[in-house]
Every structure is written in structure tokens, then in C-alpha cells.
Structure 1
Amino acid sequence: MGGLICVGVISGAHGLRGEVRLKSFTADPSAIGAYGALLDETEKRSFKVRIAGRGKDHLIARLEGVDDRNAAETLKGVKLYIRRTALPDPGEDEYYHADLIGLAAESVDGKKLGMVKAVHDFGAGAILEIEALMIPFTRLTAPKVDMKGGRIVINPPPDLPDANEEEKR
């Protein structure tokens, strides 16, 4: 649970005076400026952020020391981070998405399902992305490839999760 947490990304320049378009990943997007100086992934550069406005799907921000469009354009794609230790401990039954990534996922009966690869939130609640299932592509594990039918018949290894159990719910 240590390290850096990505809280936003600079998506491009805005205007001529060094403002940037900023995509915030914080629960309250405009709160990204309240975390103090944000770091790049190398931790060699830090940026003090002041929110100057809102676009349709982004914030417009001023970064201390970025005073013209050329300087702002060089920052396109820079991810902005805070130290995990700067965040308060989550409440009971609350979790930071970054803390869930990398956890082992198991079924209620103990079958290994994989590792949490990502947590997505499209507005209707968080969705866990469990790492993709990977099976060796051999005659034993994939005995039939049915191109016309659009399927591959899999002879699963014994520890493969049973997707049908989830469908019964």
C-alpha cells in the first residue's frame, strides 16, 4: 500500500498562457489541487496545481512555473501522482482503488480466479477487472478451433474457475 497513487493526467495545453487540460481521477475532480504539489512518475518534477476552470470532460489548470503554451504542450501525457502516505486511511468497508490492484481474487469456495488488474467506475459503482485468463494454446488445451462458429473449444486445466457458477446467480 505504499508508493505513488496516480490522481490525474495532463491531456494537453489550453490557451496561450500555459494553462493545461487536466483529467482528474479523484472522487471530486476539482479537489486534485488540494493535495499540494503533485509529482511525475519519476518523482523528479513536482507541480503545484491551481484549478482555473472546467471543460466538458476535463479541468483547466495552472501549473506553477508553466507560463506559455509551448511549456504546457511538453507536458501532454504526464501522469500526476501523490504519495500513498498523503492519503487518509479509508473508513470501514472503504478502499482506495490502488490498494485493491494486485490482490488475489478467489471464489467463495476458495478457487483462484486471478489477480485484480484494475478497478473501473463508470458511474454505477465500481467494477473489478480480474486479470485475463491465459491458457496455453496447444492441441491438448485447445483441441478444436471452430472459425465458422466463432469459438474455441477449451479443455480446461483442473484449476480453471467455473464461469457457469457465476452465471447461475
Structure 2
Amino acid sequence: MTTTTRRVLLGRVAGAFGVRGELKLLSWTDPRAALFGYQPWILRTADGEREVSGVRGRDTGKTVIASFPDVATREQAEALHGAEIWVPRDRLPPPAEGEYYWVDLEGLAVQTIDGLALGTVSHLFDTGANAVMVVDGERQRLIPFVIGQYVTAVDLDAGRVTVDWDPDF
């Protein structure tokens, strides 16, 4: 899948805020309010998907509050609880040198420094200390995504991540 067709999950509707149709959002951008700069969004609900633009909002310090153009009541806001906020991958700025978007790593082949294939990157998750790659192969492996220590090379063009990792672990 190319970066032009991939989507990135940037947030989720956490609930209604007040009585005027405002919504509380969970944002995974940094800073959190940067989420508003990636519109239009693809809003995914249990009922399907729709494109949303013109969303305004603010970071209150505790949460991100948003106003959707077509949501005017608390009931309408509550109906969007749990909706996911997606954007096409190509709308994100290029990562800095030595940094990677997790979505760009998903699906890459993983091999040891000795050339032994371990599988492919299923997904990554954050432990607080560092990110962890979930590698699916003949069995699942959890490899810390620590560049220089465990991850020795990432070659997006070749579709490969090279790791310094004991294949028996």
C-alpha cells in the first residue's frame, strides 16, 4: 500500500462537552491541537465514513474541545462518541531524519544483522519508555524500536528493517 492510499489515525471523539454540541477529542498529534491542521478529516463511525472539514477547536490543557460545523446539540455530539479521526498519510509532513511514522513501518520485512528473516512489522505500540515493534513471522516477537541499540537500519525503499536481535528470543 502506498503512502497516498494509507490512512493515519490521529484521534478519536471521547464524548460530548457541554450542551451546545461541542465534543471532547483524544488527539495523538504533538502538540494535541495540531490535529486541526490536517483537515478535512475522515470520520469513521459504526455507521460508515464521512469527510468533515471546518472543525474548530482548542486545547484546554486537560482535553481538546472541538466544534463540528454540523453538530449543534449535545445529542448530536453524543452520537459521535467513539468516532475515529483519520487522515491520508500523504497529508502529514515528512518526518525528520532518523524519525519514522509508525504507519510507514507497518508491513516492512524484519531481518537480523545476520540476514535471518524474522517476519514483518504488524504494528507498533508505546510503552512509555520506548516504542515496541510487533513482528509477525513463524511466531510473534516484540522488539524494542530503539535505533542504534536494537534497530540497526530502516530502509523504507527496500521495505526492510534490520535488527540486532537474537532470533531465539
TM over 0.5: yes
Residue from 2, 5, 9 that aligns with 2:4: 2
Structure 2 distance, partners of 1:116, 1:52, is 35
CA RMSD of aligned residues (A): 2.3
Distance 1:21 1:37 in 2: 18
Match of 1:162 in 2: 168
**1:46 corresponds to 2:49:** no
Between Structure 1 and Structure 2, the one with more strand by share is 2
CA distance in 2, matches of 1:28, 1:105: 31
Larger Rg: 1
Counterpart of 1:33 in structure 2 is 36
Aligned to 1:60: 65
Over the matched positions of the two proteins, sequence identity in percent amounts to: 36
* C-alpha distance in 2 between matches for 1:21 and 1:131: 35
* CA–CA separation in structure 1 for the residues paired with 2:75 and 2:117: 50
Whether the aligned pair in 2 keeps the contact of 1:8 and 1:24 (CA below 8 Å) is yes
| Distance (Å, rounded) in 2 between the aligned partners of 1:37 and 1:6 | 13
| Unaligned segments of structure 2, at least 5 residues | 141-166
Deviations 1:99-125 (A, max 9, x none): 111212222112222221222234433
Match of 2:100 among 82, 95, 103: 95
Residue 121 in 1 paired to residue 123 in 2? no
Kindly state the Cα deviation for residue 43 of structure 1 after the two structures are TM-superposed. 5.1
The DSSP-based 3-state class of the residue aligned with 1:16 is coil
Partner letter of residue 14 of structure 1? F
In 2, Cα distance between equivalents of 1:126 and 1:92: 17
Distance 1:81 1:48 in 2: 15
Decide whether the 8 Å contact of 1:38 with 1:48 is kept in 2.
no
TM-score (norm. length: structure 2):
0.70
Shift of 1:23: 0.7
- Distance change in 2, residues 1:122/1:18 (3 Å): farther
SS in structure 2 at match of 1:40: strand
CA separation in 1, counterparts of 2:74 and 2:136?
Answer: 40
Q: TM-score, normalised by structure 1?
A: 0.70
Deviation of 1:7 after TM superposition, in Å, equals: 0.8
- What SS does the corresponding residue of 1:93 show, helix, strand or coil? coil
Q: Is contact 2:15-2:25 (8 Å) kept? A: yes
**Quick one: structure 1 residues 28 and 55, their matched pair in 2 at CA, closer, same or farther if it must change by over 3 Å?**
closer
The number of residue pairs the alignment matches comes to: 137
Q: Could you report, residue by residue, the CA deviation over 1:79-100 in whole angstroms, capped at 9, with x for unpaired residues?
A: 1111122122223212111111
